[in-house]
Amino acid sequence: MQQLTTAVRSGSEEVVAGIDPSRYSFQLALRSRSQEYFNNKFEIFPQRIRELIGELKAYGLKRIVIEGAHLLGYTTLWEFRKAGFELFELPPYRAHKLNHLLCESHNDVDDAEAAATAGLHFERSVVPLFLDKKKQILYTLCRFRHQLVKEKTRHINRLHKLLSESYGWVYKKLKRSYPLESKYGRKFFQKYPSLNTAIEKKVELKEELGEEIYRLVVKSGKWQAGIYMQELEYLIKQEIEMITDGEKRVRQIEQKMKKAAESVEEANMLMKIPGVGVISASILLTSVKDIKKFEKESCFAGYCGVGPKMWQSGEAKAKSVKRRSYNRKLRAVFYNIAFSAMRVNSKARAYYKRKRKEGKTHRQALAHLARHYARIIYKVWKRGEYHELQ
């Protein structure tokens, strides 16, 4: 490392650290524009991180570029920030492209070197990391809620499969009246998990179902699977309990998110916009992080998937085409905001109706409204200006 010490202290070349994180460790590369000095793996625990920080500070290092900073964890990032390092993030999709450009291979050593190279040669591809404890709490809660919602969706899909087996064709009729997303739908299938149970309790069933569906259930007859059907019914009840428990946990997380959002200035500012609630504001804050990285409002809309992409070649006229690269989570948020705004904001409803009268379909009118809300949110967030719907 003597070469590195000489290079940094003499100021002849800037040296940047690149980090490729994993769950329990990270790969660290140190390089300048002319050569690589060091590339090694370090385990993640407080004492080792502090020892490494001491070594890096002794060499006079200032900048660290991390590929996918969220993978490293806030606790580790905070140790580096507290020590006075300038932290930057290299988004994983950019790291992937850069890796192919440099060496076309994928391993920890090359990824760490690519992160350091990005900090030296491709400075516009890295984003400064602004660590804020309050925002980080909101970010962690938001990610956990997202995982719980995905888990609930998986349980519902498994439940659909099990009920299709226990009811057969009859389930196609029942799921319209008793959707699994609703409490009363799950309560019904908890009570009648299979066709056999439904027929055995047909006196009670007749009071709950309409005459047409009741006759269809009774006419269908019982399965002769015996002990297998009992196990199938047990699995159905277990899945319903897991969905109910998951919903309870989501509500608890949302309560914590509400408290966390109240202490973040930007979240309070966004929630003043009609149609933007706690969940939408939290996802916007944790996904975008720094609104200043978008120079124009159209760039922000494009990133969120609510702005078109322009296409033009040769003498052909420019036209707008569907955008393929965008943040899926943010696009869903803006459509939810548009739906909510139509319910609570008379101007949003009027805007939607005006677009429908112009000949737009429901989906197109909703997309226009979502695009307009991207404009409002950008101005409120970046400039502190409130722009009413016209």
CATH number of 206's domain = 1.10.287
Q: pTM value?
A: 0.78
Same domain, 292 and 240: no
- With a cut of 60, say whether residue 7 has pLDDT above it: no
Same domain, 123 and 207: no
Report percent pLDDT > 70 for the chain: 92
Instruction: For the chain, give the number of residues.
Output: 390
- With a cut of 60, say whether residue 103 has pLDDT above it: yes
Q: How far apart are CA 157 and CA 172, in angstroms?
A: 14
> Residue 278's pLDDT is what?
92
- 389 found inside a domain: no
Query: Is the CB of residue 89 less than 8 Å from the CB of residue 69?
Result: yes
- pLDDT tier at 281, thresholds 50, 70, 90: very high
The per-residue pLDDT for range 138-179, each reduced to its tens digit, is 988 998 999 999 999 999 999 999 999 999 999 998 898 899
Query: Is the CB of residue 227 less than 8 Å from the CB of residue 112?
Result: no
> Residue 101's pLDDT is what?
67
Rounded average pLDDT over 93-117: 78
Strands 25-31 and 36-43: antiparallel
> Residue 337's pLDDT is what?
94
> Residue 146's pLDDT is what?
92
Rounded average pLDDT over 177-203: 91
- With a cut of 80, say whether residue 18 has pLDDT above it: yes
Same domain, 357 and 273: yes
Query: Is the CB of residue 142 less than 8 Å from the CB of residue 289?
Result: no
- With a cut of 70, say whether residue 9 has pLDDT above it: no
Same domain, 234 and 312: no
- pLDDT tier at 388, thresholds 50, 70, 90: low
Domain boundary among 262, 293, 314: 262
> Residue 385's pLDDT is what?
66
Q: How far apart are CA 273 and CA 341, in angstroms?
A: 9
Same domain, 191 and 256: yes
Buried b (16+ CB within 10 A) or exposed e, 92-125: eebbeebbeeeeeeeebbbbbbbbbbbbbeeeeb
What is the dihedral sign for C-alpha 366, 372, 375, 378?
Answer: negative
Query: Is the CB of residue 302 less than 8 Å from the CB of residue 374?
Result: no
CATH number of the domain enclosing 14: 3.30.420.10
- Cβ neighbours, 10 Å, residue 337: 27
Average pLDDT, the chain: 86
Question: Which residue in the block uniquely carries the two structure tokens 């379909």?
Answer: 361
Among 250, 326, 338, which residue's Cα sits nearest to residue 288?
A: 326
Same domain, 44 and 83: yes
Could you tell me the CA-to-CA distances from 207 to 204, 219, 220 in Å, in that order?
A: 6, 17, 18
- 388 found inside a domain: no
- 390 found inside a domain: no
Report percent pLDDT > 90 for the chain: 44
The per-residue pLDDT for range 118-144, each reduced to its tens digit, is 888 887 788 888 778 888 889 889 989
Domain with 282, as residue range(s), is: 265-383
- 167 found inside a domain: yes
Domain count, the chain: 3
- Report the 3 state secondary structure along 256-285: HHHHHHHCCHHHHHHHCCCCCCHHHHHHHH
- 352 found inside a domain: yes
Same domain, 269 and 304: yes
Burial of 42 (C-beta count, 10 Å sphere; 0-12/13-18/19+) = middle
- 163 found inside a domain: yes
